[in-house]
Structure 1
Amino acid sequence: MFSGIVQCSSSTRVSASYLPYLQFRDRPYNVTGSMRSLHLNDVPILVQSGSIHYARIHPDDWLSMIQLVKLTGINCISLYIFWSYHEIEPGVYDWTSERRNITQFIELAKSEGLLVLLRIGPYVDAEWSYGGLPVWLRQFTEKYKDIEIRTVNQLWQMEMQTFTTAVVKHLSPLFASNGGPIFMLQIENEYGNIAHAFPPGDATAYMQWASDMAHSVCSVCYWITCRYEDMDVKTNNANNDYYSGDWLRNVHWTKHNNTQPGITTENWIGSPGWTQFGSAKPHRPIQDFTYSVVQYVAYGAAMHNTYLMYGGTNYGRVVGRTHTTTYSFDPPILEIGIPNNNHFNHLRHLLNTINYYVPALLSVGDNLPPLVNITTKGVVSVIYASPSNTSAQSVIFLINNNDKLDQTVKLEDSFYTVSAWSALIIDGHSKAVVYNSANLSDNTPFKLATAQFKNFSSIEYIPEPSLNSLVFKNSNKYESKKSSFHASLPVTNTTVMQEHYSTTLDKSDYLTYTTSVQLTEFDIELQNITLTLPMRCESLFIFLNRKWQTSIFNQQKEINVSVILNITDLNLKTYDTIELKLVGATMRLDSYGIHFETLGRGLAFQPNDTVMFNGKNIISNKWNYQIGLTGEDKQYFNPNNNTNLPWKPISNQLSTKLSNFNWYRLKFQTPGNLVSNSSNLYQVNMTGMYKGLLYMNGYSLGRYLTINAPNKDPVPPCDYRGSYDPSKCRYDWGKPTQILYHFSAHLLNKNGIDNELIIFEETDAVPTQIYIQITALESSY
Structure 2
Amino acid sequence: MATQYAGIELRTDNPIYKNEMQIFTTKIVSMAKEANLFASQGGPIILAQIENEYGNIMVDYGDAGKSYIKWCAQMALAQNIGVPWIMCQQHDAPQPMINTCNAGGPYITTSYDYYAPLDEYGNLNQPKWGHLKQLHVAIKLGEKILTNGTRTDKDLGNQVTLTTYTNANGERFCFLSNINNNQDANVDLQQDGKYIVPSWSVTILNGYNKEVFNTAKVNSQTSIMVKKGDDASPKLTWVWKPEKKKDTMQGKGSFKGNQLLEQKELTFDVSDYLWYMTSVDINDTSIWSNATLHLNSYCDFFEENALALRFSASFILIKTGIAGGPVQLIGKNNVTIDLSNQPLVLQGWVEW
Instruction: Give the alignment's TM-score, normalised by structure 2.
Output: 0.67
Q: Deviations over 1:467-515 (max 9, x none)?
A: 9x56xxxxxxxxx899xxxxxx9x444433455565394666x654322
Distance in 1, Cα, partners of 2:204 & 2:277: 67
What does residue range 379-458 of structure 1 map to in structure 2 within 5 Å?
379-382=160-163, 396-403=174-181, 406-410=185-189, 412-426=191-205, 431=209, 433-439=211-217, 442=219
Contact persistence 2:50–2:76 (CA under 8 A): yes
Contact 1:385 1:395 in 2 (8 A): yes
Q: Is the 8 A contact 2:282 2:288 kept in 1?
A: no
Aligned to 2:134: 353
Residue 196 of structure 1 is aligned with which of 59, 68, 72? 59
Aligned to 1:151: 12
What SS does the corresponding residue of 2:52 show, helix, strand or coil?
coil
SS of the equivalent of 2:65 reads helix
Q: Output the CA distance in 2 between the equivalents of 1:527 and 1:152.
A: 54
1:209 counterpart residue number: 71
Deviations 1:536-571 (A, max 9, x none): 5xxxxxxxxxxxxxxxxxxxx48xxxxxxxxxxxxx
| Aligned-partner Cα distance in 1 for 2:114–2:316 | 31
Matched residue type, 1:197: D
Residue deviations 1:270-304 (CA, integer Å, cap 9, x gap): 53xxxxxxxxx6xxxxxxxxxxxxxxxxxxxxxxx
Q: Which residue identity is paired with 1:619?
A: S
* Correspondence for 2:101: 266
Structure-2 residue corresponding to 1:503: 267
Alpha-carbon distance in 2 for matches of 1:327, 1:177: 25
Q: Post-superposition shift, 1:160?
A: 1.5
Q: Deviations over 1:723-755 (max 9, x none)?
A: xxxxxxxxxxxxxxxxxxxxxxxxxxxxxxxxx
Is 2:96 aligned against 1:236? yes
Q: Whole-Å Cα distance in 1 between the matches of residues 50 and 210 of structure 2?
A: 43
Q: 8 Å contact 1:339–1:446 — kept in the other structure?
A: no
> Paired residue for 1:609?
325
Partner deviation per Cα, 1:29-53 (whole Å, 9 max, x = no partner): xxxxxxxxxxxxxxxxxxxxxxxxx
Pairs within 5 Å for 1:81-100:
none
Task: Please tell me whether the aligned partners of residues 500 and 600 of structure 1 are also in contact (alpha carbons under 8 angstroms).
Answer: yes
Question: Offset of 1:181 from its aligned partner?
Answer: 5.3
Alignment of 1:146-545 (within 5 A): 146-172=7-33, 173-175=36-38, 178=41, 180=43, 182=45, 184-198=47-61, 200-218=62-80, 222-228=84-90, 235-239=95-99, 265-271=100-106, 313=110, 344-345=126-127, 347-364=128-145, 366-373=147-154, 375-382=156-163, 396-403=174-181, 406-410=185-189, 412-426=191-205, 431=209, 433-439=211-217, 442=219, 469=245, 491-498=254-261, 503=267, 505=269, 512-517=275-280, 519-522=281-284, 526-536=288-298
Structure 1 residue aligned with 2:344: 622
**Paired AA for residue 96 in structure 2:** N
CA-CA distance at 1:223 after TM superposition: 4.3
CA distance in 2, matches of 1:331, 1:178: 24
Higher strand proportion (structure 1 or 2): 1
Counterparts of 1:331 and 1:179, CA distance in 2: 22
8 Å contact from structure 2 (residues 153, 162) kept in 1? yes
AA matched with 2:191: E
User: Cα gap change, 1:201/1:512 in structure 2, threshold over 3 Å: closer, same or farther?
Assistant: closer
Match of 2:314 in 1: 595
Q: Deviations over 1:576-611 (max 9, x none)?
A: xxxxxxxxxxxx656733212245654x2x2x3221
Q: Distance in 2 between matches of 1:448 and 1:365?
A: 37
Change (3 A) 1:421 1:506: farther
Gap change, CA 1:426 and 1:230, over 3 Å in 2? closer
**Cα distance change, pair 447–421 in 1 and its aligned pair in 2 (3 A):** closer
Change in 2 beyond 3 A, CA 1:182/1:387: farther
Alignment of 1:57-76 (within 5 A): none
C-alpha RMSD of matched pairs (Å): 4.6
The alpha-carbon deviation at position 194 of structure 1 amounts to 1.7
TM-aligned CA distance change 1:215 to 1:411, over 3 Å? same
Within 2, Cα distance between the matches of 1:448 and 1:507? 40
Deviations 1:635-665 (A, max 9, x none): xxxxxxxxxxxxxxxxxxxxxxxxxxxxxxx
Q: Residues 515 and 624 of structure 1 are in contact (CA less than 8 Å); yes or no, is this contact kept in structure 2? A: no
